[in-house]
Homo-oligomer: A and B are copies of this chain.
Amino acid sequence: MNKRGLILVISGFSGVGKGTIVRRLMEKYENYALSVSVTTRPPREGEVHGKDYFFISEEEFSAMEKEGRLMEWAGYVGRHYGTPRDYVFRRLDEGKDMILEIEVQGALQVKEKYPEAVLVFVAPPGAAVLKERLLGRGTESIEQVEKRLLRAVEEAEAMEVYEYLLVNDELETCVEELHRLMQCEHRRTNRNRELMEDIKLDLKRFVEGEQ
């Protein structure tokens, strides 16, 4: 098994349960870590710099973008959000599989720059379930929920960009599937060049030693 971590991009409709899946995955397995985004919006009450976000200025953000230090970025109501490359890569080097919970546009940017990233789309078992989950949060009006559903219709068009499709029917099953999927990705030959070289060398030396 290779030691370096993998980039895991996870997207899905609002309300599908991405956040819960990611939290549960990290609770169960040590080899995952969540990327911390940079943002130019001010911290909200209780938010911690370096944990919830890295809060930076528009100037810093702009510099990071120009210097290619953002893996992906997006603007939203006048504020900017992005994934800091150095932070993610440092943790990849430590062997962590780094989770980027981002939207379709960001996922496309990551795939373009880092084709080795593993892109997973999480879908609900059905639209009715999605609506129930959104309403179940109890934080949004019915109008907001309807808007999110309309958005899901649009986002669904981008599913084929992703490598894998998971259906979040039952949380624990979905988490296990995601974990197994990452374990399998670690087994890819193109991520095990060193191991293959070791196998070749071991065989050669052994055969030579025998003669």
The complex places the Cα of A146 from the Cα of B210 at a distance, in Å, of 8
The complex places the Cα of A22 from the Cα of B191 at a distance, in Å, of 24
In the complex the two chains form, is A164's CB within 8 Å of B150's CB? no
In the complex the two chains form, is A165's CB within 8 Å of B153's CB? no
The complex places the Cα of A211 from the Cα of B150 at a distance, in Å, of 11
The chain B residue sitting closest to A124, CB to CB, is B199
What interface size band does chain A fall in? Answer: 35 or more
Judge if A63 is at the interface, Cβ distance under 8 Å. Answer: no
**A21 → B minimal CB distance (Å):** 14
Partner of A153, one of B184, B185, B192, B204: B204
> Which residues of B have CB within 8 Å of A181?
184, 187
The complex places the Cα of A180 from the Cα of B180 at a distance, in Å, of 7
Identify the stretch in A31-39, A90-98, A107-115, A154-162 within 8 Å (CB) of chain B at 4 or more residues.
Answer: A154-162
When each residue 175-211 of chain A gets 1 if its CB lies under 8 Å from chain B and 0 otherwise, what string results? 0010011011101111011011001101111110011
In the complex the two chains form, is A200's CB within 8 Å of B160's CB? no
> Which residues of B have CB within 8 Å of A167?
195
Identify the stretch in A45-53, A54-62, A71-79, A126-134 within 8 Å (CB) of chain B at 4 or more residues.
Answer: A126-134
Assess A188 versus B203: contact at CB under 8 Å? Given A159-B196, A210-B146, A210-B149: no
> Which residues of B have CB within 8 Å of A172?
none
The chain B residue sitting closest to A161, CB to CB, is B189
Judge if A10 is at the interface, Cβ distance under 8 Å. Answer: no
Listed residue (A164, A199, A204, A205) with the most chain B CB atoms within 10 angstroms of its CB:
A199
Judge if A166 is at the interface, Cβ distance under 8 Å. Answer: yes
Assess A123 versus B199: contact at CB under 8 Å? Given A131-B206, A180-B180, A187-B181: yes
In the complex the two chains form, is B123's CB within 8 Å of A156's CB? no
Judge if A81 is at the interface, Cβ distance under 8 Å. Answer: no
The chain B residue sitting closest to A159, CB to CB, is B196
The complex places the Cα of A204 from the Cα of B189 at a distance, in Å, of 40
Listed residue (A128, A177, A202) with the most chain B CB atoms within 10 angstroms of its CB:
A202
